[in-house]
Structures are given as C-alpha cells and as structure tokens.
Amino acid sequence: MKFALPSFSSPAEKAPMPGVVQRSRMMEYDQPLVWVVILLMLFGMVMVYSASIALPDSPKYANYKNTHFLVRQASFISIALVAGLLAFRVRIATWQRLAPYLFVATIVLLVLVLVPGVGKGVNGARRWLSLKVFNLQPSEMMKLFVVLYAADYTVRKQQYMHKLTKGFLPMTVAIGFVGLLLLLEPDLGAFGVIVCIAMGILFLGGINGIWFGGIGATLVGIFTMVIVLSPWRRERIFAYLNPWEEENALGKAYQLSHSLIAFGRGELFGVGLGGSVEKLHYLPEAHTDFLLAVIGEELGFVGVAVVIAMFYWIVKRSFEIGRQAIAMDLTFAGLAAKGIGIWIGVQTFINMGVNLGLLPTKGLTLPLMSYGGSGVVLNCIGLAILLRIDYENRLLMRGGRI
C-alpha cells in the first residue's frame, strides 16, 4: 500500500504561473447599496400598511379594504424594481445623450398638468396626470431628469462656466421656467428640491462663486416673496412658529402638532409595531408625508435613527461613487452620481425636518418609503443609474471596456 506524503510547498510555489489571469475579488456592483435600498422599500411597505390599516373606518375611504394601500404599494415596488433593472442596463453615455430630450419632455408634462381636464387635482393642488391604473406626477420625473440635464449641461458648457451669459444664465432661465410651472400647481416643495439639485451640480461643476452666491441670495428672496404674497402660506409659517396655540393646533398646525405628539409617545423604543394612536384619523396623510411620525411613535427613537442612518449611507455612497467617476475623468457620471445623492439627501432632510417640526409643513414624501407610485419608481430608477455608474467605474478599474 502506498501513502501520499503531505506537500510543504513554499508561498512562491503556490503563486500563480506566469500568464495565468486571476479573477478580481472586486464585486461587479455595489451589493450593500442594493440591499439597503430594498430594505428601505420593504420597511416602508410595512409602515405604509401599519399607517393606513385604519383608513377604511373613515367615510372618505369607506370603500377601501384594509389592505388597499399595502397591495398598491407592493405593486409600486414591484414595478419600481423592474424599472430599476431596465434602467441599470442602459449605458451612462446613453443617459447623457438623452438628458436634454428627457428634460424637455418632462417640461411638456408639467404644462399638461395645468391644462383643465387633463391634469388631476387633489386637495386643491394640480400635480398629477391620470393614467387610469395610477397617477403620474411629472414633478417626481423632473427631480431625476434635472440631475441628468444639469450634469450634461455642466459638461457641455465647462469652458463657459465662469461666464454669466453663456454659462450660468441659460441654466437659470430653464430652472426658473420649471419653477414657475411648479408654483402654478402649486408645489413649492418640489421646486425647492429641484433648485437645490441644479445649484448643487453647478457648484460642483465649477461655477463662479460670486454668481453662485448672488443667485443663491436671489432665490432666498424669491422664496420669501412667494411666502409673503401668499396668505395661506404666510398663515402656515405663523402656525409653524407657534403650533401649540389652540387656534393653530386645530388649524394650520394640526398636522405638525399631531406629528410631534406621535414622536413624543414613541420615546426611545416606541409603543410597538401597529400600536400607533395618531394614525387612527388624528394625523392626516400618515401613510405619505408623515410616515416618519408613525415610525417614531411605533418604533421610537431607535427606529427613526436606523432610517436616518440608512439614508445617510445612500447619500455617502453616492458622493463616493461620484468622486471615483470624476477621478477616472468620467465627469458626467460623477456629477450625476453626486446629483442623485443631493436629490435623495435634500428630499429626505426636508421630509424629516417637516415631521420633526424643524421646517414648515411641505407636501414632500420620504424617498423609497412613503406611499406613492411615481416617487418610488423614480427613486428606484435614479438609484439604478447610480448603480450603473458604480458598475462602469468597477469595469474600468478592472481594465475592461464600457
């Protein structure tokens, strides 16, 4: 009988033979980012169900089943994931080429929203186009496509970015026209997000600092004038400053006061999933704009902190991916990645700020989590583009071709 002796080969002998190519250990795409996005959407679906389960008890939703919003949100998430997969397969160069056309097409949709008989109004605001199956909100589309357009514009006009007439002014006029359409809906919150996206990308693209500061001050003045000249907005600001006054608590600050009560009841660990009292017809729009308040009441400070940490991680990754793309001379991809981070970060900050009483009440949803088809689908497409940018970065770092 023969026995095989153990092999005691040296590290040098274990090294691969010359000419043998080892597979890179680098992931082909950012798997942690994918899982964070999916977890946020699934967590949001659970909380939408919890926040909306009692709505059929009210006359307004009497014909709805308790699972109505859960089923629709699950459908939106399914559509969003399919749309994200399709968007991921599109090369970033193609997105860059289509950016101006997508921007103009969305402006057309914003105009159609204002046409009587075409646009659909809800609670006094005309922000939707009815597609029978679901309502399309063009302002959500504009948040994504302004990212692509601003990034493409900055690349095309790079040599003119320090000139007012050829660099900064055309973009200002375009965003100003979009803002006018949004204010006519009215949707001041979406306008604020879009302005932050455009200004942020232009700043990162190297716009003249003096003009940037001047335009920033002008925009602050415009927002102030819009509030001053609008009686109901002015009343909302005064109510926000003193939400516990009886007249305000029962009127303009009704949502804010009940949102703060929800957070107060939640304390550190919450009252338990499904145990919210404020969602029982005290807090309006609990499944959309004020979903975070329900999370705070049911899961407490810990639940809110986890949500904040996950959104922070998405924004952080967006800027890291953008910085990596710019380092490899992929300027459009880098600016688009950072623009997506600005979009998610600013909208999340505004929604959370409104829920916590840090900002006046605005109709902005919590990205990926709040109930709504347009928002979830467009958020997923935007993050799929971010994943595609990261995928192309990794492909180039391996020595491959896009």
User: What are the pLDDT digits (tens) for 269-305?
Assistant: 999 999 999 999 899 889 999 999 999 999 999 999 9
pLDDT at position 5:
42
How much is the pLDDT for 252?
85
User: What's the pLDDT score for residue 402?
Assistant: 73
For residues 82 and 281, give the distance between their C-alpha atoms in angstroms, rounded to a whole number.
Answer: 34
Q: Which of 35-49, 181-195, 364-378 has the lowest mean pLDDT?
A: 181-195
Instruction: Inform me whether the pLDDT recorded for 178 exceeds 90.
Output: yes
- pLDDT value, residue 22: 52
pLDDT of 125 reads: 73
- Of all residues in the chain, what percent carry a pLDDT higher than 70? 92
Alpha-carbon distance of 117 to 56, in angstroms, equals: 29
* DSSP 8-state symbol, 28: S
Average pLDDT over residues 179-208: 87
Residue 121 has pLDDT above 80, yes or no: no
pLDDT band at 8 (very low <50, low <70, confident <90, very high): very low
Query: What does the chain come to in residues?
Result: 402
Measure Cα distances from 58 to 6, 61, 282, 400 in Å: 77, 6, 11, 59
CA 115 to chain centroid, in Å, comes to 27
Lowest mean pLDDT among 135-139, 145-149, 167-171, 255-259: 167-171
Q: Which one is predicted more confidently, 401 or 39? A: 39
Decide if pLDDT at 263 tops 50. yes
Mean pLDDT over each residue of the chain, to the nearest integer: 87
Q: Which of 160-164, 215-219, 392-396 has the highest mean pLDDT?
A: 392-396
Kindly tell me if the per-residue pLDDT of 198 is higher than 60: yes
Other CB atoms within 10 A of residue 128 CB: 20
d(CA 121, CA 293): 26
Closest by CA to 273, choosing from 90, 101, 43, 26, is 43
Are 77 and 41 in contact, with CB atoms under 8 Å apart? yes
Region of residue 267 (left: phi > 0; alpha: psi -120 to 50; beta: else): left
| pLDDT at 309 (0 to 100) | 97
Whole-Å CA distances, 77 to 42, 81, 153, 402: 8, 6, 32, 29
Question: Residue 100 above 70 pLDDT?
Answer: yes
Q: Which two tokens stand for residue 280?
A: 């029982």
Contact (Cβ atoms closer than 8 angstroms) between residue 370 and residue 16: no
Q: So what's the pLDDT on residue 240?
A: 83
Mean pLDDT value across residues 246-275:
92
Q: Which of 22-31, 35-44, 49-58, 89-98 has the lowest mean pLDDT?
A: 22-31
pLDDT reading at 163 higher than 90: no
pLDDT at 316: 97
CA atoms within 13 A on the CB side of 29: 15
Mean pLDDT of 376-390: 97
> Contact at 8 Å (CB) between 358 and 35?
no
Stretch among 85-89, 141-145, 212-216, 315-319 having the lowest mean pLDDT? 212-216
Over range 106-124, report the average pLDDT.
Answer: 85
